[in-house]
Structure 1
Amino acid sequence: MVSVNSQGDMEWDFGLPNSLDEYDERQVLTLKYLFRDVSLDLDKEDSILWVHSVNKVYSVAEGVRVMLESNLDTEFVCVKVVWNKLVPSKIAIFHWLAIQGGVPVKETLSFRHCLRDGADDKCGWCSSQVESIDHLLLHCPWSYNVWSALFSWWKLVCVMPSSVVEISLACFHGLGVKAKEAWRLICPVSFWLIWLARNNFLFNGSYQSWKSVVEHIKIKVFQWLVNAGKVESFHLYVWNAQPWMLLK
């Protein structure tokens, strides 16, 4: 909310609590810095404009174009990988959140003071490491088994990347264009199904073996490729054994 003080200057009220942690304080200062030159006409109705297009109307395509054309950091290079038309929106959004550090794992919840009193921030599967995004989706022994099985499925010898960003960008060098397209599907669906298995275990007490998750990943990617006309629907057996043989 914005108001005008007795000197005629605009004052911004973000409606935030008086006590903020260090991270949130920095965010508020950044926001105030961005608003320092903003001038509002309080007699006019608010409207939202997208300044990067002629008609001032935002579209996803315009947003992606601006990010790709800007000199942004490595995470934004993932735009091409994440926003894949073969991947359902909810899974692509989760993949993007994982890259941006926005998945509500215990480490994040603890930092935001959102964990219950007495609750720890350890991984629910291994109980030995803090449940960060990279740990949960890649490095926990349970998740690591999922990825090792997927690498073995494609006859890959691979050192586990250090982060979700790194494995998303790898997708996977040296495999060729068609195989890389398949891995652009394998990564997001793997993250998504690992997350669902974690939630089912944490909130419902229902443990799912990593082997069953691997099979689910294979079938889901196969279905997406069939729907896209990349493989034939009757080749599921070959897909499980030699997937690179089927890609058109």
Structure 2
Amino acid sequence: NFPRLFSLSNQKDSLVSEVGARHGDRWIWSFSWRRNLFQWEEDLVAQLLDALESVVLNMEDDTWCWVPNPEGIFSVKSTYDYLAKVLSSEDVIQEEMVLVFDQIWDSPAPSKVIAFSWQLLYDRIPTRRNLDYRRILAPEASRECVGCVGKVESSIHLFLHCPTAMLVWYDVFRWIGVVIVIPPTLFSLFEVLRGMASNKKIRMGYLLIWHATLWCLWKARNNTIFANGSMDSKDIVEEIKVLSWKWSLVRLKSSPCMFYEWTWDPGDCFLR
């Protein structure tokens, strides 16, 4: 860094092409200063030129380059891989978690919903516990879960162990025809559902409903806090059925299902 030279430059807003010229196969820099430089400042210029020796310039127009992708092109996957590396360097990620993070995007759910589930698994959504940890909640604000009484609203509680959330999950399990005991983590639930699928079509359907359940629980929570709604498990399950059916019409690679067929036997719809 050369802040001293920058402060003395007459070319602060100049383009690279305006502070030099090509002579043969070499690029020669031409700096302009607002006064004569002292000897120690001349030494800084020499250091700057040494640092610039490794810079290779061409005559093509500048373009944007996305560094996390070797091809320089932006993509959601490269962004996800980059953020996953950053976050995993901050936290100790167990092998089970790594597998889920690798598989979570392989789902027909909308991208914004998958992104929400991804944030949830990293515990980066604004639950009351997280807001309190970041000192965003006022001292007098409630830290309790909106779905029950006496429990702090953490991610794992709100989406899995809250009595309301458990009722929702058990109703969803009955609806899709599986028997599962609520596991200790959302990672485990993801892996259990994925492992119970007998083929890829059913697996895609299960993951679609897994994402829809998390999304609808969060929507119900927000509606309770901000719109004077309520955390009613039956209403949440109905919303899960409606929303997942709408997604299935455009996102599952199967023949469309009528809504009554979807609510009666989604497994049959998965296999069409």
Q: Give 1:31's aligned residue.
A: none
Deviations 1:140-171 (A, max 9, x none): 11111110001111222211121222222333
CA apart distance, 1:114? 1.0
In the TM superposition, what are the counterparts of 1:68-107 in structure 2 within 5 Å? 73=94, 74-84=96-106, 86-107=108-129
Distance 1:3 1:215, change over 3 A: farther
Taking every aligned residue pair, what percent have the same amino acid on both sides?
Answer: 26
Confirm whether residue 127 of structure 1 aligns to residue 149 of structure 2.
yes
**Which amino acid in 2 is paired with 1:59?**
S
**Structure 1: gaps of 5 or more residues:** 6-40
CA distance in 2, matches of 1:147, 1:199: 19
**Structure 2: gaps of 5 or more residues:** 5-50, 56-63
Q: Give 2:177's aligned residue.
A: 155
Q: Is 2:197–2:206's contact at 8 Å kept on the other side of the alignment?
A: no
Confirm whether residue 235 of structure 1 aligns to residue 258 of structure 2.
yes
TM-score normalised by L of structure 1: 0.71
Confirm whether residue 198 of structure 1 aligns to residue 221 of structure 2.
yes
3-state SS of 1:172 partner:
helix
Q: Is 1:81–1:168's contact at 8 Å kept on the other side of the alignment?
A: no
Q: 1:181 aligns with which of 200, 204, 207?
A: 204
Q: How many residues are aligned here? A: 207
CA distance in 2, matches of 1:112, 1:222: 37
TM-score normalised by L of structure 2: 0.66
CA distance in 2, matches of 1:159, 1:173: 14
Q: Is 1:75–1:100's contact at 8 Å kept on the other side of the alignment?
A: no
CA distance in 2, matches of 1:240, 1:58: 39
CA apart distance, 1:217? 1.0
Q: Is 2:66–2:73's contact at 8 Å kept on the other side of the alignment?
A: yes
The structure number with the bigger radius of gyration is 2
